Amino acid sequence: MVWIYRLVLWVVDGLLPIASLFSSKLALFVKGRKGLFEKLQKFRESNEGKLVWFHVASLGEFEQAKPLIHLWKQKQSEIRILVSFFSPSGYDPVVKRNDRDLDGVIYLPLDRVRYVKRFLDILRPDLVFFVKYDLWYHFLKELSYRQIPLFLISASFRKDQVYFKRRGFFRKPLFYFDHIFTQNEQSGELLSNIGISSFSKVGDTRFDRVAETANSPQDFPQIKSWLGDKKAIVLGSVWEEDMEILIPLINSHPEYNWLIAPHSMNREPMENWKGKIGLSIQFYTKWDSSQAASVLIIDTIGMLSSLYQFAYFAYVGGAFGAGLHNILEPIGFGVPVIFGKVRKAGKFPEALEAVEKGCGFEVKDQEQLKEIVDRLGTLDFYSHSQDAAKKWVQSNLGAAKKIYELTSKLQRNERESH
């Protein structure tokens, strides 16, 4: 099976430049990796010393890694931190942030043996963290062979995943990790069933991240002034499928102010929504605050996680299409959250738990949406939901600290043994 895997990667590597001519996403994938090893060499030359490498698939996984990254920098400021991305949708926003906790951001090359060895020869990491998934066979095997401490964090497994259905090549990546930090009990049970004992349940590091954001959100004085005493509803990461049931809701509730943050910055659907919404509406980037508006479309990125500070309740999109976005961001502010019916509940365990806790509400259509919004309009029901959100976040804080303490202890022990 390894040889088939290598053959597929060889073919993919050869075809990518051609395929990128017909796909903007693949074009970014290829362009971002041009001169990758030269960039990596320059980074390492200007960032000598101990280095911790985090690999994430995209932006969501980076947000899970961020609390742990921050702890490493806070506790050991001399440590260099590099984050690698597989997807441009994660790489591009993080590069633009100019995050002070990061010493470098780079793309991960394809998982071909010669690329892997060259990458690691240049980088020479002291500790490595993979986040949630995106587990590349040759990278993990080579890291294990070189005896570089290797950890998987924020692991959330499902019994239908290939690791638990097939043996050999498909399962081997999990055995290369020195320790796996899981989000829940089910993940630990699945690991035990295949003979892995080196794991710990520490919870979801995203709770640390959303609590951090809630404690120090971005300041938007213009939006605060616009809202005044009116309650705001924040619609986050919404798609066309979400807006089909949300637009009638918006039109029937002029007593609220509405903040709409689309998943995509494609102008066409936003203009289409504007034409269907009956309330006064403006785009954030062209906002004239002297003109009345009940709806504000946030047509720029980087604001959403802090916009939830203004929400009476929130709706988070994606469930009707590509997949549910981060419902923990509003919950971090103690804000009840509504979302579409999740197709594969196992992929989004936080959605099921939010419903069980009483701060998350799953809807399948416009009728259910109206029913939940009406209930949230009553003081008792709303207060209960708000309290449930706050208690849930508080009870899950500390995952990043637990991971840091164990992994930094390992680092100290290794340093002392030399």
Domain boundaries, the chain: 2-202+400-417, 212-395
Helical (H) or strand (E) element with 315: strand 311-316
Burial label for 14, CB within 10 Å (0-12, 13-18, 19+), is: exposed
Nearest CA-CA partner of 82 in 109, 107, 105, 59: 105
Six-digit token pair at 109?
A: 């090359």
Q: What does the pLDDT read at residue 243?
A: 97
DSSP state of 109: P
Nearest CA-CA partner of 16 in 27, 2, 4: 27
For 296, the 3-state DSSP assignment is strand
The pLDDT tens digits along the chain (418 residues) read 888 988 888 888 888 888 888 888 888 888 889 999 999 999 999 999 999 999 999 888 998 999 999 999 999 999 999 999 998 888 888 988 888 999 999 999 999 999 999 999 999 999 999 998 889 999 999 999 999 999 999 998 988 888 888 888 888 999 999 999 998 888 999 999 999 999 999 988 999 999 999 999 999 999 999 999 999 999 999 999 999 999 999 999 999 999 999 998 899 999 999 999 999 999 999 999 888 899 999 999 889 999 999 999 999 999 998 889 999 999 999 999 999 999 877 778 899 999 999 999 999 999 999 999 999 999 999 999 999 999 999 998 999 999 999 898 766 555 444 4
Angle formed by the axes of helices 366-376 and 240-251, nearest 10° = 50
CATH architecture of the domain formed by 2-202+400-417: 3-Layer(aba) Sandwich (3.40)
Radius of gyration of the chain (CA): 23
CATH architecture of the domain formed by 212-395: 3-Layer(aba) Sandwich (3.40)
Angle formed by the axes of helices 113-123 and 137-145, nearest 10° = 50
pTM for the structure as a whole: 0.84
Q: Would you say the CATH fold of 212-395 matches that of 2-202+400-417? A: yes
Six-digit token pair at 126?
A: 């002291």
